[in-house]
């Protein structure tokens, strides 16, 4: 075995004009003596939270099997079949703090806000919003000490709504699912260009970003010399890893540039439209998931949140055969046609998750893959949307948690078990221990792998 004397720090960057590109975990980052012993670098654990709006058709969501055997995956979750060994479907979990509790209507705002916090939000139309610190930010505070960004917050719909959006609740509750403090909601970025430059470059003002588009300047082009110098120092395995990583970055850049050109060529007047967001929802969603994958691969952050749609969104999905407004058909009154259309939207959102899981599984890291070392929770704050129910929520967890999470199971918990018990269990599996989260009553049992 050929051993080089190079020992790169884990936080190694390629520097260029206005850019600093982080690298994925390389063999050269493992201490020399560790490499001699063929001991892989210790993996880091990562968390992702993906929110889906307007409830779910629960009959199409819930799997048939329980306990150790997941059984046949439901129609909605079927796209996750290739990853069933790393899939946990928890049912019976609820967010009771999203109920009215004397505040009247506003189920959509409360469902979205409570999903990651477990805290009943203050009903207000003004700036005095108040909710609770969300689980993603609790994790980010502990896991982000060694990463350039504590967390990344992304969304697929504009987040500039102001005033009263839902029966006396401020639009702030619709614009985000992440809260750093009880009074500090975090903005969720819809523009993939801004996210990309936040991860790898300066970004600048909107005018400067437009100038970059016209110049067609690539962040990767600016670090070209650094790449050449680094590649000359690496072994063949690391050179391949770096090349594949930079290729994936360049493909994301290309897609952003195409979207920007499409936006610039549009004949439709769209005020305040951010440069960089694709016109296609499908492409936009896939681009955001790909940015999260690269952020995990380069250890830019270990925590992300993604809002696939805000509550009460009336987005149609004609490209999957559902041209109807989503929120309108979610009030289905048990109409089988509307229920089937809602289930089709749910299944599409799971297909996006499956595509993301596939990318994570295809990315080696240490002694496994990114999927082995991550846990992604996807679901929403409503179950039966026609009843505005916050009971028995649609949830699925994908990933291995660096060996701490056993998949292939449908875990049915007693009715009204707080969803926050699941959040505490996920935090515990990434080494973050909290005594209480919202209305939690303890950790749900997520059986670890034997011997872990």
- What pLDDT score does 246 carry? 78
- What pLDDT score does 202 carry? 53
- Bridge-based pairing state of the strands 152-155 and 303-307: parallel
Tokens of 379: 């679901």
Q: Where are the domains of the chain?
A: 1-42+192-276, 48-190+303-452
Tokens of 167: 């029966």
Percentage of the chain exceeding pLDDT 70: 78
47 Rama sector, left if φ>0, alpha if ψ -120 to 50, beta otherwise: beta
**Predicted confidence (pLDDT) per residue in 325-335, tens digit:** 999 999 999 99
Distance CA 94, CA 105 (A): 18
Split at pLDDT 50, 70, 90, the class of 444 is confident
Percentage of the chain exceeding pLDDT 90: 58
Residue 360: which residues within 8 A CB-CB, separation 6 or more? Answer: 293, 296, 369, 370, 371, 374, 399
Distance CA 37, CA 441 (A): 44
Residue matched to tokens 């309108």: 328
Residue matched to tokens 């108040």: 130
Residue matched to tokens 């999260």: 292
- What pLDDT score does 228 carry? 72
For residue 204, pLDDT beyond 80: no
The better pLDDT of the pair 223, 341 is held by 341
Split at pLDDT 50, 70, 90, the class of 36 is very low
Tokens of 189: 């970025």
Distance CA 68, CA 372 (A): 19
Split at pLDDT 50, 70, 90, the class of 30 is low
Q: Three-class SS of residue 358?
A: helix
Instruction: Provide DSSP, 423-434.
Output: HHHHHHHTT---
Average pLDDT over residues 397-424: 93
- What pLDDT score does 101 carry? 94
User: Which residues on neighbouring strands pair with residue 214, listed in sequence order?
Assistant: none
For residue 356, pLDDT beyond 70: yes
For residue 226, pLDDT beyond 80: no
For residue 41, pLDDT beyond 60: no
- What pLDDT score does 3 carry? 39
Neighbours of 286 (CB within 10 A): 17
User: Which residues on neighbouring strands pair with residue 109, listed in sequence order?
Assistant: none
- What stretches of 223-330 show up as alpha helix (H) in DSSP? 224-231, 236-265, 281-297, 326-330
DSSP one-letter code for 147 = S
- What pLDDT score does 217 carry? 58
Residue matched to tokens 């909710």: 131
Distance CA 385, CA 375 (A): 26
- What pLDDT score does 266 carry? 40
The better pLDDT of the pair 315, 228 is held by 315
- What pLDDT score does 449 carry? 39
Lowest-pLDDT choice from 48-52, 157-161, 166-170, 330-334: 157-161
CATH of domain 48-190+303-452: 3.40.720
For residue 4, pLDDT beyond 70: no
Angle between helices 206-215 and 236-265 (to 10 degrees): 110
Angle between helices 224-231 and 236-265 (to 10 degrees): 160
- What pLDDT score does 153 carry? 97
13 Rama sector, left if φ>0, alpha if ψ -120 to 50, beta otherwise: beta
Tokens of 312: 């009460």
For residue 163, pLDDT beyond 80: no
The better pLDDT of the pair 58, 251 is held by 58
- What pLDDT score does 189 carry? 94
User: Which residues on neighbouring strands pair with residue 377, listed in sequence order?
Assistant: 49, 397
Q: Which of 30-39, 326-335, 400-409 has the highest mean pLDDT?
A: 326-335
**Predicted confidence (pLDDT) per residue in 104-148, tens digit:** 999 999 999 999 999 999 999 988 999 999 999 999 999 988 888
Q: What is the dihedral of CA 278, 279, 281, 284, to 10 degrees?
A: 0
Tokens of 222: 């600016």
Q: Three-class SS of residue 217?
A: coil
Distance CA 280, CA 323 (A): 14
Tokens of 159: 């987040």
Q: Which of 5-9, 214-218, 247-251 has the highest mean pLDDT?
A: 247-251
Name the helix (H) or strand (E) containing 50. Answer: strand 46-51
Q: What is the mean pLDDT of the chain?
A: 84
Of 50, 199, 57, the closest CA to residue 115 belongs to 50
């Amino acid at each position: 075995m050929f051993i080089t004397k190079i020992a790169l720090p884990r936080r190694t960057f390629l520097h260029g004009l206005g850019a600093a590109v982080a690298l994925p975990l390389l063999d050269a980052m493992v201490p020399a003596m560790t490499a001699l012993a063929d001991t892989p670098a210790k993996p880091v654990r990562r968390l992702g939270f993906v929110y889906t709006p307007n409830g779910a058709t629960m009959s199409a969501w819930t799997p048939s099997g329980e306990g150790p055997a997941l059984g046949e995956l439901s129609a909605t979750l079927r796209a996750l079949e290739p990853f069933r060994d790393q899939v946990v479907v928890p049912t019976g979990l609820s967010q009771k703090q999203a109920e009215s509790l004397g505040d009247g209507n506003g189920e959509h705002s409360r469902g979205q806000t409570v999903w990651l916090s477990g805290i009943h939000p203050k009903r207000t139309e003004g700036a005095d919003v108040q909710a609770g610190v969300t689980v993603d930010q609790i994790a980010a505070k502990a896991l982000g000490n060694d990463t350039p960004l504590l967390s990344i917050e992304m969304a697929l719909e504009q987040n500039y709504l102001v005033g009263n959006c839902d029966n006396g609740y401020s639009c702030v509750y619709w614009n985000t699912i992440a809260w750093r403090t009880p009074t500090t909601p975090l903005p969720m970025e819809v523009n993939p260009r801004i996210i990309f430059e936040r991860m790898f470059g300066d970004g600048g003002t909107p005018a400067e970003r437009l100038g970059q588009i016209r110049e067609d300047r690539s962040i990767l082009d600016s670090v070209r010399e650094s790449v050449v110098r680094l590649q000359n120092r690496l072994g063949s395995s690391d050179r391949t890893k770096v090349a594949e990583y930079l290729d994936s970055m360049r493909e994301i850049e290309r897609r952003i540039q195409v979207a920007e050109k499409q936006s610039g060529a549009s004949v439709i007047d769209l005020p305040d439209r951010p440069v960089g967001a694709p016109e296609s929802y499908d492409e936009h969603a896939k681009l955001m998931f790909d940015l999260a994958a690269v952020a995990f691969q380069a250890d830019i952050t270990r925590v992300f949140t993604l809002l696939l749609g805000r509550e009460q969104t009336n987005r149609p999905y004609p490209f999957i055969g559902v041209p109807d407004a989503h929120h309108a058909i979610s009030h289905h009154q048990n109409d089988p046609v509307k229920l089937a259309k809602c289930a089709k939207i749910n299944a599409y959102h799971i297909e996006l998750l499956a595509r993301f899981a596939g990318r994570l599984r295809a990315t080696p890291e240490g002694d496994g893959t990114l999927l082995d070392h991550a846990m992604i929770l996807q679901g929403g704050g409503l179950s039966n949307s026609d009843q505005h129910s916050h009971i028995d929520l649609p949830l699925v967890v994908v990933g291995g948690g660096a060996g701490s999470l056993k998949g292939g199971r449908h875990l049915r918990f007693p009715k009204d078990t707080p969803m926050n018990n699941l959040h505490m269990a996920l935090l515990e599996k990434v080494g973050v221990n909290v005594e209480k989260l919202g209305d939690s009553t303890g950790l749900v049992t997520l059986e670890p792998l034997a011997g872990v």
